[in-house]
A and B are shown apart, each in its own frame.
Chain A
């Protein structure tokens, strides 16, 4: 037995050495073949003969001992992995993929046009980066940097520069996060300043939207600037045969980028003159006293290939956290959303065209309004809201109000560079008890809360992409607000892109 094994080992070693030699010789031949493109044919012919001989002498595949692995082809990798010239810090930074440690891209989006509405900013146009006045609007000039941080992390930063309707320059940190490359169990952690993973539009930057402006339901329920805050998100790719990802975000719950939560009250535009949301101030900030005071955003996203040319993405999202409505009570907000995305693209599409896509998001928000006594404001010298039933400053009770809405959009890329779109927006709120009270402000009857009233909007548009790096878009909005009536807006959007263009998520 021992002898047998020894013999076997010897035999195996001999075979191994022989095969290793053969492999090395083969390897050298191959390398030579590759590197000498323009050598004369007879040299190649000689190589072929050598190769043929070697193959003929090689027996059954798969009989090589495992130990031979290390001897194979390290030289080939070394030879082939030499890029032409690597970048050094003293070289000029070239904008583009792989020529610097971060890819740099800049997208500048502008709009020109007008509206029949006299409250364009924050009224007719709810989104923070929507066209906000008759004439020109800088919707945003967004700088994007991204790249690998080290072998474990990659990072992405989006900084937005703009000039508001009053001519004031401002900067927003849209996103700045790092993300793990590969955690165990198919987990992925993202941390920093992040867009909450809620629905579809909220995680997209405005330049990749199919329309000039934010959908009404996003701007009204999540906030004019969407939902984003410092925090972290853990995503788990489920072990299913189709794509499904479960994620949970935990973020700060305060600030104007968390408008339905601990925000300073979400009125827009000329805040001074407007009646606040829920007809009460947001003075009830209890601060953060525990994990429960953070903003939580769970999401489940799934995707199915319906056919070779049709893809469906389904998602369900939630956003839960405290709000600071009124002046008392442990008030909280819950937002629920579902989203659907379907896309058809034929097997011989050119430049991404033609295609048809349908996208819809529906949301429901339950917002708890805190108790509020206008007498205290009156005492402080502010004009109070008066309850006509008593003739005194109104005393508003705690109540939970429900708002909901959806948008549906259809995009048809009918020829290369051309997309026709149609979007329908709808938002509404169930009438709250405070809206049924006979309230007046400055002598004017209040009735339905303008930030919760029913509203329809229909927006057809046409986009032309002269190239991947520029676009011109003409959009018309037919806008029907229950109290204000119908308004018409026409916006011409134009955009350019410099530098690296990051790939888009599906």
Chain B
């Protein structure tokens, strides 16, 4: 009986067995969540590199080939990739991944978007109609993304459904546990001012009770001007902001200049796993790095 059951199970599995799900993620943060859930049962391709400005990725023709073969496309959906993804999808000839298709995972669905502009006005810089698209640095949002991804994987690859859902649950539990840890680590610094180059840390600040309101860019996408930097320096002194965070693709030099006149430290940060050394392990490794280094920098400067 047991043998028969195993044998039949084997047949069932063989019927269910097929090529691995071919998954394309636009950015490494989304890819790392996909990897947590899909493990080695998916074929995963990431389009943007971790050190690259995700707003400005080249729509390389090789991406068309990757999207053409994709079963699943995981993208932010909040206009982060608007400058390059639509043209690629148009040429990919893949009905599976177009808007609202089965294989399209629009990660921002269900995320409470912050900084949704009350009116669209580009004199305020390159603002996104749908709100600030850098939502992944809030672990609560990573959970939502994990849910979307697991949902899509489970639907498209029923044979591995339990595997995906288990992994998703494990990941969420890990996130939940870690979130408590992270919040505890940053709790002593509640309300502290941190300076960023570009306004991509709203969700992080919101989750951890930090204030990231001063930016080296005068407006999103507009390069820093001397007068604006002078203003930032004055405000930093006034608000006792002592840490400047800089993404790998932004000018560290500008940040260092400001740091010199304010006695602040410049800290390398990234939104993408692998964007800073030591964060290659994935989303949790990245958040670990961000929280630990930030706590360290803030503690040193106290």
| Any B CB within 8 A of the CB of A44 | yes
- Closest chain A residue to B86, Cβ basis: A503
Distance between Cα atoms of A401 and B233 in the complex (Å): 69
Interface residues of B in 130-175 (CB under 8 A from A): 130, 140, 143-144, 147-148, 151, 154-155, 158-163, 165-170, 172-173
| Any A CB within 8 A of the CB of B60 | yes
Interface residues of B in 98-120 (CB under 8 A from A): 98-99, 109-110, 112-113, 116, 120
User: Is B93 within 8 A of A64, CB to CB?
Assistant: no
Please give, as numbers and ranges, the residues of chain A lying within 8 Å of B170 by CB-CB distance.
Answer: 55
Please give, as numbers and ranges, the residues of chain A lying within 8 Å of B151 by CB-CB distance.
Answer: 72-73, 76-77
Please give, as numbers and ranges, the residues of chain B lying within 8 Å of A7 by CB-CB distance.
Answer: 1
| Any A CB within 8 A of the CB of B91 | yes
* Interface-lining segment among A135-143, A179-187, A316-324: A179-187
| Binary contact track B43-69/A, C-beta < 8 Å → 1, others 0 | 000000101110110111110110010
User: Is B251 within 8 A of A62, CB to CB?
Assistant: no
User: Is B176 within 8 A of A72, CB to CB?
Assistant: no
| Any B CB within 8 A of the CB of A378 | no
Which interface class (under 10, 10 to 19, 20 to 34, 35 or more) fits B?
35 or more
Distance between Cα atoms of A378 and B137 in the complex (Å): 80
User: Is A33 within 8 A of B176, CB to CB?
Assistant: yes
User: Is A80 within 8 A of B109, CB to CB?
Assistant: yes
Interface residues of A in 124-165 (CB under 8 A from B): 148, 154
Distance between Cα atoms of A96 and B117 in the complex (Å): 12
Please give, as numbers and ranges, the residues of chain B lying within 8 Å of A61 by CB-CB distance.
Answer: 160, 162-163, 166-167
User: Is B13 within 8 A of A48, CB to CB?
Assistant: no
| Binary contact track B1-33/A, C-beta < 8 Å → 1, others 0 | 100110011001101100000000000000000
Distance between Cα atoms of A368 and B83 in the complex (Å): 44
Please give, as numbers and ranges, the residues of chain A lying within 8 Å of B12 by CB-CB distance.
Answer: 65-66
| Binary contact track A76-95/B, C-beta < 8 Å → 1, others 0 | 11011111100000000011
User: Is A81 within 8 A of B109, CB to CB?
Assistant: yes
- On whether A242 and B158 interact (CB within 8 A), knowing A181-B98, A186-B93, A350-B249, the answer reads no
A343 CB, nearest partner CB in chain B, Å? 7
User: Is A349 within 8 A of B140, CB to CB?
Assistant: no
- Closest chain B residue to A55, Cβ basis: B169
Distance between Cα atoms of A182 and B93 in the complex (Å): 5
| Any A CB within 8 A of the CB of B85 | yes
- On whether A186 and B68 interact (CB within 8 A), knowing A73-B151, A348-B249, A350-B53, the answer reads yes
B162 CB, nearest partner CB in chain A, Å? 4
Distance between Cα atoms of A305 and B61 in the complex (Å): 9
| Any B CB within 8 A of the CB of A469 | yes
User: Is B129 within 8 A of A98, CB to CB?
Assistant: yes
- Closest chain B residue to A81, Cβ basis: B109
Please give, as numbers and ranges, the residues of chain B lying within 8 Å of A34 by CB-CB distance.
Answer: 110, 140, 143-144, 147
Please give, as numbers and ranges, the residues of chain A lying within 8 Å of B148 by CB-CB distance.
Answer: 80
The residue from B1, B56, B98, B177 contacting A4, defined by CB atoms under 8 A apart: B1
Extra contacts besides A30-B147, A187-B93 (19): CB < 8 Å: A4-B1, A23-B162, A41-B180, A61-B167, A62-B162, A72-B165, A76-B147, A81-B110, A84-B116, A97-B79, A97-B129, A97-B130, A237-B93, A243-B64, A303-B60, A348-B51, A467-B222, A501-B83, A506-B61
What are 11 inter-chain pairs, A to B, with CB distance below 8 A? A52-B173, A55-B166, A72-B154, A97-B79, A350-B250, A351-B221, A352-B58, A502-B86, A503-B84, A505-B87, A506-B61
State the A residues within 8 Å of B (CB).
Answer: 4-5, 7-8, 11, 19, 23, 26, 30-31, 33-34, 37, 41, 44, 47-48, 51-52, 54-55, 58, 61-66, 68-69, 72-73, 76-77, 79-84, 94-99, 148, 154, 179, 181-183, 186-188, 237, 240-243, 301, 303-305, 308, 311, 313, 343, 345, 347-352, 416-417, 467-469, 501-506
Nearest 6 pairs of A and B residues by beta carbon: A182-B95, A303-B61, A80-B110, A61-B163, A243-B61, A352-B56
